[in-house]
Chains A and B, each alone.
With several copies, the nearest count.
Chain A
């Protein structure tokens, strides 16, 4: 198939579908028409897209944890615990890493060992192995909207099984679930595979069921400059909309400087609206998600609570539609359900205390919005140009040439030439803009910011500064100062 940002024909879709459903025996259980009927019976308050729309209209910020274990009953218990003890508004099902790499055999081994040892040896819920009926058992046991969260480059079968199973939201995208999650998978292939997922969601939409889609915003979670993640989020959103998706949540991972974080969400919302309108997708309902700090966490739980709370506060002041919540165990391992619920409750306390408080516009916030927007426009314009009017083709070429570049990514499909670092106030800037298509003004802006920090620290900006920044939050600060 030739990559193009064009809605798939029914024929193309059905042809590929035949192959997808045979990737693992449980694929055979799916019947789209039966699935649509099943979805129709899910009440509105359990429906992700509807819940998000309502929250956006009411100016609310909803909480959502990450969580998933190997076995069905344990997974149900976990989610219900987070609902009750964590007061979570939205629930996830985090998929294990073997499933993410399509290693269903390994996942099966994980299930069996988990059964034997009585503790989850998988870092998530292996939905494909559990199959349609396993998934529905979960869906029917949880009285809240449910989303699949993963990191799967090829998630076609996973989308088929989980949406048919009654999940009303599905995270991921051809860029955001490739570059941070794979090493050597062709971007062309993942974009096509995600067009499949989006077309599937588009099919449901045509049948009256708006399944929510969420490109994965934070990417590597490590010093990703807002314009980079915003550009990719908007691109994936546009690609999804083209396949007929009608409910999209665009995401951003907290950087830690309040003005920059608020600006990032505002700019993301503004620009997404602009691009969606311009390209004819104004009927797509857009919402936003703010991820609490995604980089390395402090091991100390008190300090972790502080980082979590700061993320909650920033999300509230930015008025994101939902916030993805970390836990006090983050630095150490998959959280216990108690630690997960504690992170949720801390977050809820602050969201409630800050309900109604908004960050008023000010010169610094405006400056951040302006610079993020200008950079994002530069990137998107260049992608469009490289693709000769096709955002999908443009994306491929943009990654080849470094016009799109994700820092610290495992993938060989990103140039890794751009390097971020913090400025003296902790905002994430570019230490090296690499091949990003920025104007000289923008480059000078970042260069000045880095020099300013260098002056304060009495050292030249070097790669050591970047490393110091990577460790900083875990060590108790935002900016990695020389010791």
Chain B
């Protein structure tokens, strides 16, 4: 599979309309050689699942900025399993809970929900790209 472009589904979950980070992540992942399926903002869990199945994506990058992330993100891993795409990497990032909170707490919460990587506010795309490349390489997917 060497040389094939890795595919990621990108979107902002729930009733969240924060678009700026989404546009930048889209730009950065594309520039880094990924094929990005960008669902934009206001994306439901089902839309994430459908897009991942349709495009056979290696990872779903879920953003939540507006504070309802805890409620919105719960159950996505279970839906992946139901949909038979339990191998898909789930990354989540943004301002994940309401209010300023110790990041370690948030991380644990989202790990328990089945997310593979959890990013706090202020994360730069480069870091996420490097992590994803590493995770994909570990899974034997040599990417761009």
Partner of A121, one of B16, B20, B71: B71
Task: Give a binary string over A103-119; 1 marks a CB under 8 Å from any B CB, 0 the rest.
Answer: 10010011001000001
* Chain A residues touching B, range: 35 or more
Contact of B99 with A463 in the complex, beta carbons under 8 Å: no
- Nearest chain A residue, comparing its CB with the CB of B103: A332
The reply to whether the CB of B19 lies closer than 8 angstroms to some CB of chain A is yes
Chain B 84-111 interface mask (CB, 8 Å, partner A; 1/0): 0000000000010111110000000000
Q: Counting CB contacts under 8 A, is B141 at the interface?
A: no
Q: Contacts A336-B100, A467-B24 given: A410-B95 contact, CB under 8 Å?
A: no
A80 within 8 A of B: no
Whole-angstrom CA separation of A408 from B40 in the bound complex: 11
Would B122 and A120 count as touching, CB distance under 8 A? no
Among A299, A332, A336, A409, find the residue whose CB has the most chain B CB atoms closer than 10 A.
Answer: A332
Q: How far is the CA of A470 from the CA of B42 in the complex (A)?
A: 22
Contact A98:B68 (CB < 8 A) given known A333-B98, A410-B40: yes
How many whole Å from B132's CB to the nearest CB in chain A? 19
| A408 proximity list for chain B (CB < 8 A) | 19-20, 23
Docked CA distance A333–B94 (Å): 10
Q: State which size class the interface on B falls in.
A: 20 to 34
Q: Does A136 contact B (CB under 8 A)?
A: no
A180 at the interface (CB under 8 A from B): yes
CB of A461 within 8 Å of the partner chain: no
Interface residue B29 (Cβ < 8 Å from any Cβ of A):
no
Interface members, chain B 1-31 (any A CB < 8 Å): 12, 14-20, 22-24, 27
**Contact present for A182 and B121 (CB under 8 Å):** no
Binary CB contact string for chain A from 279 to 298 against chain B (1 if under 8 A, 0 otherwise): 00000000000000001100
Residue on A nearest B43 in the bound complex, by CB: A183
A331 CA / B121 CA spacing, docked (Å):
7
A97 / chain B contacts, CB cutoff of 8 Å: 14-16, 66-68
Determine whether B73 belongs to the interface, using a CB cutoff of 8 Å to chain A.
Answer: no
**A183→B68 contact, CB < 8 A:** no
Task: Check if B99 sits within 8 Å of A334, measured CB to CB.
Answer: yes
CB pair B68–A122 under 8 Å, yes or no, is yes
Q: Does A220 contact B (CB under 8 A)?
A: yes
Which residues does chain B contribute within 8 Å of A181, judged by CB atoms?
Answer: 17
Complex contacts, B52 vs chain A, CB 8 Å: none
Tell whether A47 is near chain B: CB-to-CB under 8 Å.
no
User: Can you list the 7 inter-chain pairs with the closest CB atoms, starting with the nearest?
Assistant: A410-B19, A123-B67, A410-B41, A332-B100, A101-B15, A333-B99, A333-B100
- Interface pairs (13), CB distance under 8 Å: A97-B16, A98-B15, A100-B15, A110-B71, A121-B70, A122-B98, A123-B66, A332-B100, A332-B121, A333-B100, A409-B19, A471-B124, A474-B122
